[in-house]
């Protein structure tokens, strides 16, 4: 495989900043792509070893473009995640004032994070979405828009200046990014892991979602993300993107996945990987009856009962 990582570009995105926090990024060629889809397709076609893309933010939840790309198409797998604190700067061409700004641009995921600031400070400005925040900065440089919400670090790259900095509607806002590659054996568990899956129901009936969630709940598995996405098969047809605590090698997680495989029309495994928000040893204690040792002991008891050794 080429020793390169694709990422949502162009240069100067929050995605690039987050990617460069990975130690292995220093040994890879980092190649910007114009969209999440093109970055992930570069992995599917073998142009890149892996792709690094945003998947969730703490203000609006899941990044639907990324989720939909992982739901559809040739399967891919998540190997790492990174959390990055996000604050925006309002980037403009030198000499521009607030009163000059009639159009602003940024990635669609940025809008909910600056909506109140925009309403207060630029109530009449027209919003235009861009492929990324850095691409919005590039478009401002080219004169297509008056201002862009992007990282302050992108100003020098595009010959702009930061008219305002530290812009955010929510304190401590974060975006979660993931390193995605072709399917392979998951890394060994660390004790602070996350497992991601996509679930499709067999049919729509009362309690259908409860049945899916029950496979996790009865085994003491906490869910960290639950987001429905339309399947495209008509109104009311959804699949469910789920992040759960634990690793596929944990007995409770493996049994939950087996239960889901039995009752779901389809299950797509998106990977088990280390969590970025905590360190090994800091994960919440497992509930009574849900540790690997207790699962093994219960299985041994059933086996002894079957042999008449109880």
Do 43 and 15 lie in one domain? The reply is yes
Domain end point (choices 167, 201, 228): 167
pLDDT (0 to 100) of residue 305: 87
Do 120 and 263 lie in one domain? The reply is no
Do 48 and 180 lie in one domain? The reply is yes
Residue 168 to residue 114: CA distance in whole angstroms: 5
Distance between first and last Cα of the chain: 54
DSSP letter for 259, please: H
Residue 141: asked if its preceding bond is cis (omega within 30°), the reply is: no
Do 110 and 163 lie in one domain? The reply is yes
Element (H, E) at 55: strand 50-57
From residue 34, give the alpha-carbon distance in Å to each of 39, 62, 160, 172, 246. Answer: 8, 20, 21, 28, 33
Do 100 and 77 lie in one domain? The reply is no
pLDDT (0 to 100) of residue 1: 47
Do 76 and 98 lie in one domain? The reply is no
Domain end point (choices 149, 184, 219): 184
Do 179 and 55 lie in one domain? The reply is yes
Domain count, the chain: 3
Domain end point (choices 184, 216, 237): 184
**CATH code, 31:** 3.40.190.10
Do 60 and 146 lie in one domain? The reply is no
Do 260 and 273 lie in one domain? The reply is yes
Closest-CA residue to 20 (of 186, 177, 193): 177
From residue 281, give the alpha-carbon distance in Å to each of 23, 177, 191. Answer: 22, 23, 6
**CATH code, 228:** 3.30.70.260
Strands 29-33 vs 4-8: parallel, antiparallel or unpaired = parallel
Do 291 and 196 lie in one domain? The reply is yes
Following DSSP, what letter does each residue of 83-128 receive, concatenated? EEE--EEEEE-TT--GGG--EEEE-GGGHHHHHHHHHHH-TTPEEE
Do 8 and 99 lie in one domain? The reply is no
pLDDT by residue, tens only, the chain of 310 residues: 448 999 999 999 999 999 999 999 999 999 999 999 999 999 999 999 999 999 999 988 899 999 999 999 899 999 999 999 999 999 999 999 999 999 999 999 899 999 999 999 999 999 999 989 999 999 999 999 999 999 999 999 999 999 999 999 988 889 999 999 999 999 999 999 999 999 999 888 888 899 999 999 999 999 999 999 998 888 878 899 999 999 999 999 999 999 999 999 999 999 999 999 988 777 777 777 778 888 888 888 888 888 888 7
Q: Which structural domain range is residue 265 located in?
A: 186-309
Contacts of 21 (CB under 8 A, 6+ apart): 82, 84
Residue 242 to residue 10: CA distance in whole angstroms: 29
Do 216 and 297 lie in one domain? The reply is yes
Residue 3 to residue 203: CA distance in whole angstroms: 43
């Amino acid at each position: 495989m080429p020793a390169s990582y694709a990422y949502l570009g162009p240069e100067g995105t929050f995605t690039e900043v987050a990617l460069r926090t990975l130690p292995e990024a220093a040994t890879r060629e980092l190649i910007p792509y114009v969209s999440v889809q093109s970055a992930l397709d570069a992995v599917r076609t073998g142009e890149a070893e892996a792709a690094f893309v945003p998947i969730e933010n703490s203000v609006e939840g899941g990044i639907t473009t990324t989720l939909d790309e992982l739901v559809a198409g040739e399967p891919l797998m998540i190997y790492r995640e990174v959390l990055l604190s996000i604050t925006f700067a309002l980037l403009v061409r030198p000499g521009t004032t607030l009163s000059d700004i009639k159009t602003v641009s940024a990635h669609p995921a940025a809008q909910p994070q600056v909506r109140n600031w925009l309403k207060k400070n630029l109530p009449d400005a027209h919003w235009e979405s861009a492929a990324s925040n850095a691409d919005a900065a590039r478009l401002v440089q080219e004169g297509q828009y008056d201002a862009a919400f992007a990282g302050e670090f992108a100003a020098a790259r595009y010959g702009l200046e930061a008219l305002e900095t530290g812009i955010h509607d929510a304190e401590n806002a974060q975006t979660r990014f993931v390193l995605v590659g072709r399917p392979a054996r998951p890394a060994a568990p660390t004790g602070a892991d996350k497992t991601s899956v996509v679930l499709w129901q067999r049919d729509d009936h009362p309690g259908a979602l409860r049945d899916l969630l029950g496979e996790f709940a009865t085994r003491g598995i906490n869910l960290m993300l639950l987001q429905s996405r339309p399947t495209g098969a008509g109104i009311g047809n959804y699949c469910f993107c789920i992040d759960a605590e634990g690793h596929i090698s944990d007995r409770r997680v493996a049994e939950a996945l087996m239960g889901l495989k039995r009752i779901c029309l389809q299950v797509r495994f998106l990977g088990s990987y280390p969590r970025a928000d905590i360190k090994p040893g800091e994960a919440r204690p497992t509930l009574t009856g849900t540790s690997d040792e207790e699962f093994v002991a219960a299985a041994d008891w059933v086996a002894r009962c079957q042999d008449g050794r109880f």
